[in-house]
Structure 1
Amino acid sequence: MLKRMKAAVAATTAVVLSGTVASAGGLSDAIVEAPVIVEDPVEVGPTGGSLPGWVIPAAIVALLIGVASSSDDDDGEKRR
């Protein structure tokens, strides 16, 4: 009986305290956001890159060809 009464008092205390915490803070000024001003976007024309579009792929292909040509033979014999 005493355990049940302690549990009821604890539950009632928790409900009362949580209600007090939830209603606290209502005395401050309301936060009002400034109105959003939408400006017309400025259209900018496409700008050219610093390199043409074919330079990077050509460099990658040249790198792969260089690696393939400098690799050793698969049979392990040295060339003279």
Structure 2
Amino acid sequence: MKKLVLAAALTAAASTAFAGNMQEPVMEAPVVVEETTASSSAAGVWIPLTILAIVVAAIAADS
């Protein structure tokens, strides 16, 4: 009789652990990081070289 009561108690305790519906897991949206490409050092040289060429052309035309 004691084993029957013990089995009933364990069954009742175990069944409450699985009460309710299975829900789908909540998935968070993935974080997207957009990397900016670093411009090469040569790209920053074109503007000063162009200005230098204009100044040199103006000085040569003035002579």
TM over 0.5, yes or no? no
Q: What is the TM-score when the length of structure 1 is the normalising length?
A: 0.29
Provide TM-score, normalisation by structure 2: 0.34
